[in-house]
Structure 1
Amino acid sequence: MKPLFIFALALALAAGVTPLMILLARRLGWVVQPREDRWHRRPTAVFGGVAIYLAFAAAFLLLGPRDRLSLSLAGCASAVFLLGLIDDVFDLKPQVKFLGQLLVAIVAVSLGLSFTFLPWPWLNVPLTLLWLVGVTNAVNILDNMDGLSSGVTLVAASVLALISLMRGSPEMGLTAAALAGAAGGFLIYNFNPARIFMGDCGSLFLGFTLAGCTIMGSGGASHLTLALLIPVGVLVVPIFDTTLVTFQRTSHGRSIAQGGRDHSSHRLVFLGLSERKAVLVLILISLAGGLVSLWLQYVSTLVAAVVLALAVVVFVFFGVFLGGVKVYDAKAQPALRWKSPLLGRVVLHKKQILQILADLLLFAAAYTASWLLRFEGRLGRDLMTLLTHSLPWVLAAKMLALGLFGVYRGDWRYVSVHAMVQLAKALLLGSLLVVAGIAAFYRFEGFSRTALIMDFVLSFMFLAGCRFLIRIFTESVAHKKGVPVLIMGAGDGGELLLRELRNNPSLPYLPVGFVDDDPAKQGLTIHGIKVLGTRADIPALAARHQVQRVFIAILSMPGERFADVKAACAACGVECSRIQPIIKL
């Protein structure tokens, strides 16, 4: 119960101190004005990180742990808070701020805060330094939209507290619970529309403390995979956002340290989500990552590896989807001049390279999962030897088959039935090559034919599913805003127009429904858009859905009938346009 008490105390303190900081900041002029490269639209109080730190410090001193490692973490986190406060006041150079973080991280490691899952201390130490500084900055740059950094910290710290309770290690749990409470109390005033920002003193403190808690939490993991999954799963959103921004800025010839509206949260808003929904989506992703890392405490290493491979692929495709959002000014963007021709080609063909790497992970996950399913998760030493020795040849055979069928010459955005048929053929050829190789070199001794069949099925499911992810992402969040329109004609022309309106970002239209005079089509749904009525219902539908334009997608409609529809639309103040054929014979 003590973690719950310290969480409640920190929550109450942060919720009480933050309004006082808002009043103090406004009275003393500690207010940040809107800027072109920042997201907020009105003057907002700053130094909210002071409230976060005071709430955490008070709860930690009253109810927190007293072991040396926890006290060392709290002391070093306090030093990082002071560094951030100095930066907020004097605007330190990035190099100075980085050196300060590195110095505090070195002190923390010297006091015993270090990863221990690798057998080589000389490798654990630099890995710990990289993790402490990296996560600190990842949470810092995640503070780019109202409630995002504090919300993700609330979720991540809460999951860490749960993990510590399940393991019976209260020290890390109490520290994480205090951090979660402080972030949660501040979130009340930081969620959109924010009344106060935390500043670097808050984001750096949250990031460093989170990083330290994950290091403490990974120490009790039963094996290396779990030791890695705990920190990565809990902090999946900051890691993903930092990776996306770094890769995109580098590939567009921009400085990594340069600020801007190119983070994952900004891209979700550009796709049509509101600021609140964009933040909630990322917080839910953080929660999912934390819960998965919690669940993986109870599964085998192989199951954890399969889940990790699938998760990596999903985030790769999600990153490619968000990376396709145009957020940079083409006129202001510098020309790319890569010193290395090889690096230039890698950036140019990054989608194909990422897809190949993703498919390799999916094939490995499918092959491993098929063995786990066939043998009910119990793989002895002999089976593990066969699995590991045959996996490279399985990957080679399947990648060769995909190359022969030209799978990588297609565009991810245009997944079709034909593409799925080609994929199935390629996977069938790959499976036949695998069977032939196993028969030739192993004579099927120790191999399960059922597992090979399951491998083919899982491979198709994984690859086809991931190729549909881009479409799923697009239809889930894209085109939520736009001019409401009706499409007249629920046939081939209407379906083609609907796809064009959805796939072409330059067309600012939001289809709300079809109208068609055919009684058999009433109530049907095409790509999620319903046939709402006939042309006689256009005035009522226009009023109900605030329709501003009707597109007529019936190429064979006579001229006099088009004139009648246009007159009916004009009577209710709605524009009417007729779609022209692509090819005129």
Structure 2
Amino acid sequence: MENVLIATVLSFVVTYFSIPILIRVAELKHLYDEPDERKAHKQRIPTLGGIGFFSGFIIAAAVCVPTLQNSPFQYMMAAFFIIFMVGMKDDIVGLSPLKKLVGQLIASFAIIYLGNLQIGGMYGFMGITTLPSNISLMLTYFYFIVVINAFNLIDGVDGHAGSIGLLVSAVLGAYFLHVGELTYAVLGFALAGGLASFLIYNISPARIFMGDTGSLLIGLVNAVLVLKFIEVAGNPAGKMPIDATPAVAIAILIVPLFDTLRVFSVRMLQGRSPFSADRNHIHHYLLDLKLDHRQTTLISVSVNAAFIVAAYFLQGLGTTVLTILVVGAATTFTGVLYLARKRKQAVKVAVTTIAQPAAQNVTAPKILRVTTGGVLQDK
């Protein structure tokens, strides 16, 4: 318990005092996120915030994670540094999607192969229990890539990715603390403490953004925590076993996970790259409904928290039924937002169409031209 408390406070304090320095450095070096037609902000914002809570998180983890024999912590630290370097290079000089993907795969490799953390089974989903090793490996890599990019893709509104990352890491950290998995409890609360401090500067109106440096780190750390949660909570002999563990895990990540898979699927069905830009994320729907950044973030976090609570209390339904219920509820919620946005846009187009003919019918003032001899040209 002491390790967790120290990690939380240390991460919060280091991040809190780092952010103002990073804002000043970004201003001196002109390291800004420039606004464009897709982005919600209208002015240049510094983008080095991820360095701040990475510093707090990594120092707190290094100090407070207990030294255990055969612990995978050293491999996790290596993966965290790899993903940090990938994100920082992308923020400062830019990085192609392919190179970012390679960096994410290397970080995932360190955790999967060296850290021995892998999806081992489906826990009864569609009647499947164990998986062949090759299928398990491919599914684990796919899982890491999706979750890492999920937090990156929802980072489009002030406080959005940070708030959801804080919720997920705090919930998982509390679970690991309860069951005695101290290494993962420290990781969860160290990230939560750093994000809580960062959000002081990032809640609308934002003074700094986390950039890919921060969002990729949030995705990787939470991917590790959720995968470990499935392993620990899915063990019937554990201290706090949870039925339908994969379904509960999906509920924990529902907003970033479902939004990313949905957007990727739509883009590929349209013949576009899954990494191409558009305005089809859930936070775009909420913004187009005239909600501000704080309201959008609050709704997303509240919905994610509601899914977690509902999945926990409905775990007795079984993995298959609960997974279908969670995905179905997410689909319904997204569909309602989509239809509401479409209706609002249709009304806007109709109003514009009506206003334009009215403007065209206004008679322009008659201009009379006079020749040099003082004779009117137009009558």
In the superposition, the TM-score normalised over structure 1's length comes to 0.53
Pairwise CA distance, 1:95: 0.9
1:246 aligns with 2:301: no
Match of 1:6 in 2: 7
Question: What is the alpha-carbon distance in structure 1 between the residues aligned to residue 194 and residue 313 of structure 2?
Answer: 26
Match of 2:275 in 1: 257
Q: Is 1:217–1:230's contact at 8 Å kept on the other side of the alignment?
A: no
Pairwise CA distance, 1:122: 2.9
Residue identity opposite 2:135 in structure 1? L
Residue identity opposite 1:271 in structure 2? L
Matching residue within 101, 104, 108 for 2:104: 101
Question: Using CA pairs below 8 Å that are at least 6 residues apart, which structure has the higher relative contact order?
Answer: 2
Match of 1:318 in 2: 333
Match of 1:560 in 2: none
Question: What is the alpha-carbon distance in structure 2 between the residues aligned to residue 163 and residue 291 of structure 1?
Answer: 13
Unaligned regions of 5+ residues in structure 2, if any?
Answer: 122-129, 237-241, 352-379
1:157 aligns with 2:169: yes
1:435-462 superposed Cα distances (whole Å, 9 cap, x missing partner): xxxxxxxxxxxxxxxxxxxxxxxxxxxx
Match of 1:222 in 2: 235
Match of 1:69 in 2: 72
Q: Is 1:18–1:186's contact at 8 Å kept on the other side of the alignment?
A: yes
Pairwise CA distance, 1:152: 0.6
Match of 1:23 in 2: 24
Pairwise CA distance, 1:235: 1.0
247 and 102 in structure 1: CA distance in 2 versus 1, 3 angstrom threshold: same
Q: Is 1:163–1:294's contact at 8 Å kept on the other side of the alignment?
A: no
Q: Is 1:159–1:290's contact at 8 Å kept on the other side of the alignment?
A: no
1:404-445 superposed Cα distances (whole Å, 9 cap, x missing partner): xxxxxxxxxxxxxxxxxxxxxxxxxxxxxxxxxxxxxxxxxx
Q: For residues 170-569 of structure 1, what are the structure 2 equivalents within 5 Å?
A: 170-220=182-232, 221-222=234-235, 226-295=244-313, 299-300=315-316, 302=317, 305-324=320-339, 504=347, 506=349
Pairwise CA distance, 1:272: 2.7
265 and 56 in structure 1: CA distance in 2 versus 1, 3 angstrom threshold: same
Of the two, which has the highest radius of gyration?
Answer: 1
Pairwise CA distance, 1:304: 5.7
Matching residue within 85, 88, 91 for 1:88: 91
1:115 aligns with 2:119: yes
Residue identity opposite 1:268 in structure 2? L
What percentage of aligned pairs have identical amino acids? 27
Matching residue within 139, 147, 150 for 2:159: 147
169 and 226 in structure 1: CA distance in 2 versus 1, 3 angstrom threshold: farther
Pairwise CA distance, 1:290: 3.0
Pairwise CA distance, 1:32: 2.3
Match of 1:398 in 2: none
Match of 2:36 in 1: 35
Residue identity opposite 1:222 in structure 2? N
Number of residues paired by the alignment?
Answer: 334
Pairwise CA distance, 1:82: 0.8
1:450-477 superposed Cα distances (whole Å, 9 cap, x missing partner): xxxxxxxxxxxxxxxxxxxxxxxx9xxx
Q: CA RMSD in A?
A: 2.5
SS in structure 1 of the partner of residue 78 of structure 2: helix
Question: What is the alpha-carbon distance in structure 1 between the residues aligned to residue 200 and residue 144 of structure 2?
Answer: 27
Unaligned regions of 5+ residues in structure 1, if any?
Answer: 328-473, 480-502, 509-585
SS in structure 1 of the partner of residue 62 of structure 2: helix
Pairwise CA distance, 1:254: 4.1
1:238-258 superposed Cα distances (whole Å, 9 cap, x missing partner): 112112322333455543221
Pairwise CA distance, 1:303: 5.2
Pairwise CA distance, 1:307: 4.1
1:10-57 superposed Cα distances (whole Å, 9 cap, x missing partner): 122212211221122112221222122222111111111110110101
Structure 1 residues 146-155 or 78-87, which shifts more? 78-87
Question: What is the alpha-carbon distance in structure 2 between the residues aligned to residue 57 and residue 182 of structure 1?
Answer: 10
59 and 22 in structure 1: CA distance in 2 versus 1, 3 angstrom threshold: same
Q: Is 1:39–1:261's contact at 8 Å kept on the other side of the alignment?
A: no
Structure 1 residues 284-293 or 39-48, which shifts more? 284-293
Match of 1:128 in 2: 140
Q: Is 2:311–2:326's contact at 8 Å kept on the other side of the alignment?
A: no
1:301-347 superposed Cα distances (whole Å, 9 cap, x missing partner): x35654443322221112223334668xxxxxxxxxxxxxxxxxxxx
Pairwise CA distance, 1:135: 0.5
Question: What is the alpha-carbon distance in structure 1 between the residues aligned to residue 156 and residue 86 of structure 2?
Answer: 19
192 and 175 in structure 1: CA distance in 2 versus 1, 3 angstrom threshold: same
Pairwise CA distance, 1:167: 2.2
Question: What is the alpha-carbon distance in structure 1 between the residues aligned to residue 246 and residue 139 of structure 2?
Answer: 12
Q: Is 1:34–1:41's contact at 8 Å kept on the other side of the alignment?
A: yes
255 and 59 in structure 1: CA distance in 2 versus 1, 3 angstrom threshold: same
Residue identity opposite 2:119 in structure 1? F
235 and 135 in structure 1: CA distance in 2 versus 1, 3 angstrom threshold: same
Question: What is the alpha-carbon distance in structure 2 between the residues aligned to residue 64 and residue 257 of structure 1?
Answer: 35
Match of 1:363 in 2: none
Q: Is 1:70–1:175's contact at 8 Å kept on the other side of the alignment?
A: no
Structure 1 residues 110-119 or 263-272, which shifts more? 110-119
Match of 1:575 in 2: none
Pairwise CA distance, 1:507: 6.2
Match of 1:537 in 2: none
Match of 1:370 in 2: none
65 and 153 in structure 1: CA distance in 2 versus 1, 3 angstrom threshold: farther
